[in-house]
Amino acid sequence: MTPPELASHPLTQVARVLTWGALGLLAYGAVSWLVARPWFALTTLEVKTPVAHVTEAQVRLVAERKVHGTYFTVDLEQVRASLEKLPWVREARVERRWPDTLVVSLFEHVPFARWNDNALVNADGEVFVAASSGNLPRLSGPEDSSAEVVAAYRRHQAALAPLGMHIAELRLSPRRAWWLRLDNGMQLALGRLQTDARLARFVTLYPRLLPAQAVTRMAPVIANAPAGTPVPAMAAATLKPAAPAIPLSVDLRYPDGFAVRMPHGASPFKPRPT
């Protein structure tokens, strides 16, 4: 058999494939052995971004449990996913830096409000579980409605700004009805439809609900004044306006108006001058 015939023989081609395959496996094994050597072990952990809530101890605990292998073999995706399970962590980025450093960048949630019974929500409507002692408004709603409720809070708070009122609590019921409580204790029922228009009507008409500010006369007390000492005319009486009564609740679900419930059954309207 001539050399050309031998080179084209099927057995020769099979032998060539097997030879190259064996060499490839040998090279892969050598590289795998080399990169797994302790010469390339990760010995340094660096947290690049400053954080307010996540502690270095928490990050190191995750690193001890999830960082396996060397500079070349560590599973960065697994480490990243584990870091993002920590409370307050919104996003984590993990990268290698030659020769022995794992660099971690953490981005924390900024709490916007409390969500339902046991969670917080950020300004983008992302819900996360963490402990916070801050004075935050309380939002609640069905599952997957957090972004909608946050957006509604922003709109309604902007609408109430001319009255100097602030929302303490906003709820979206399973039947998609809106209810809110202000920081002065007043409750507003907005219903399910045209909630923005209803609240705008309330803001326009609310000043008419304030009762006339009662004026009381209080005799001045002058300490250590001798009996019979004349009192200046301007000080003969002190005018002190009484604080206006705050409605307990306002039902805005009417097509052309709203119902107001006042403390002790008082009238919500200013008396007309006589």
Instruction: Give the number of C-alpha atoms closer than 13 A to the C-alpha of residue 47, restricted to the C-beta side.
Output: 18
Whole-number Å distance between alpha carbons of 151 and 163? 20
Domains in the chain: how many in total?
2
Beta bridge partners of 122: 111
**Do the domain assignments include residue 4?**
no
* Helices 146-160 and 195-205, axial angle in degrees (round to 10): 20
Residues 118 and 98 in one domain: no
Residue with tokens 């005018």: 239
State pLDDT tens for residues 188-230: 999 999 999 999 999 999 988 764 433 333 333 334 445 555 5
Amino acid letter, 239: L
State pLDDT tens for residues 62-115: 988 888 888 888 999 999 999 999 999 999 999 999 888 999 999 999 999 999
Whole-number Å distance between alpha carbons of 111 and 127? 9
State pLDDT tens for residues 102-156: 999 999 999 999 999 899 999 999 999 999 988 999 999 999 999 999 999 999 9
Q: Which pTM value belongs to this model?
A: 0.72
**Do the domain assignments include residue 192?**
yes
How many other CB atoms are there within 10 angstroms of residue 139's CB atom?
27
User: Domain span at residue 47?
Assistant: 39-108
**Joined tokens for residue 174:** 């399973």
| Residue 225 CB partners (closer than 8 Å, separation 6+) | none
Residues 84 and 215 in one domain: no
CA proximity to 199, closest of 210, 191, 208, 211:
191
